[in-house]
């Protein structure tokens, strides 16, 4: 099973979309392995968005992520990294297809509802950034045989 990191951005908390967005992950059949609320800081964001540090809008993105607290989650499932990225949709909410989270809830490139890890490697790094090992819970999804074929479960 893969695990991936999702961050509900301040825009999502402010707009009261926590329940509706969480529902997307639950109904897909992903398992919630960890969740917490925290306030992001410049130093966490310098690491988390280091691939954007030379962009002119880097300061603006960081400021938007520090407006209010965020909620971070670890979702688990087979191929969870790509499954979650597909649920989320492309960066620009205006271009994201209807049916995706960004396509249904965002009109913006920046205010685009959630962050999701883009590869298995970044998921591992990002999960370590936000969760201590004891904050990620190992438990069985009792409906596993309703969600996957026996040869899909590893
Ligand atoms: N972002 C932005 N303008 C851009 C590119 C990115 O404001 O031209 C913001 C946006 O909030 C995005 C985040 O920076 O979600 C991280 O960018 P990335 O390219 O990693 O996009 P993502 O993986 O979130 O789709
Ligand atoms: Mg990214």
Contact 18, 28 (CB under 8 A): no
Q: pTM for this one?
A: 0.96
Residue nearest to atom 25 of ligand 1 (CA): 91
Query: For residue 39, what are its two tokens?
Result: 């306030």
CA quadruple 40, 13, 52, 76: dihedral sign: positive
3-state SS assignment for residue 143: coil
Q: Catalytic residue at 115?
A: yes
Ligand that comes closest to the CA of residue 91? 1
CA of 6 to the centre of ligand 2 (A): 11
Provide the residue-wise pLDDT of the chain in tens; the chain has 154 residues: 999 999 999 999 999 999 999 999 999 999 999 999 999 999 999 999 999 999 999 999 999 999 999 999 999 999 999 999 999 999 999 999 999 999 999 999 999 999 999 999 999 999 999 999 999 999 988 888 999 999 998 7
Q: Return the ligand 1 atom nearest residue 111 CA.
A: 11
Q: Give residue 122's pLDDT.
A: 98
Catalytic residue among 48, 51, 115, 134: 115
């Amino acid at each position: 099973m893969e695990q991936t990191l999702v961050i509900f951005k301040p825009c999502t908390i402010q707009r009261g979309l926590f329940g509706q967005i969480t529902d997307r992950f639950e109904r897909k059949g992903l398992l919630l392995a960890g969740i917490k609320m925290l306030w992001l800081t410049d130093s966490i964001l310098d690491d988390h968005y280091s691939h954007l540090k030379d962009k002119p809008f880097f300061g603006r993105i960081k400021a938007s992520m520090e407006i209010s607290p965020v909620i971070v989650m670890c979702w688990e499932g087979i191929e969870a990294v790509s499954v979650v990225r597909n649920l989320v949709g492309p960066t620009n909410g205006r271009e994201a297809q209807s049916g995706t989270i960004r396509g249904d809830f965002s009109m913006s490139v920046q205010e685009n509802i959630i962050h999701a890890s883009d590869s298995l490697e970044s998921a591992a790094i990002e999960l370590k950034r936000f969760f201590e090992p004891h904050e990620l819970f190992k438990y069985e999804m009792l409906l596993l045989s309703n969600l996957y074929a026996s040869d899909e479960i590893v």
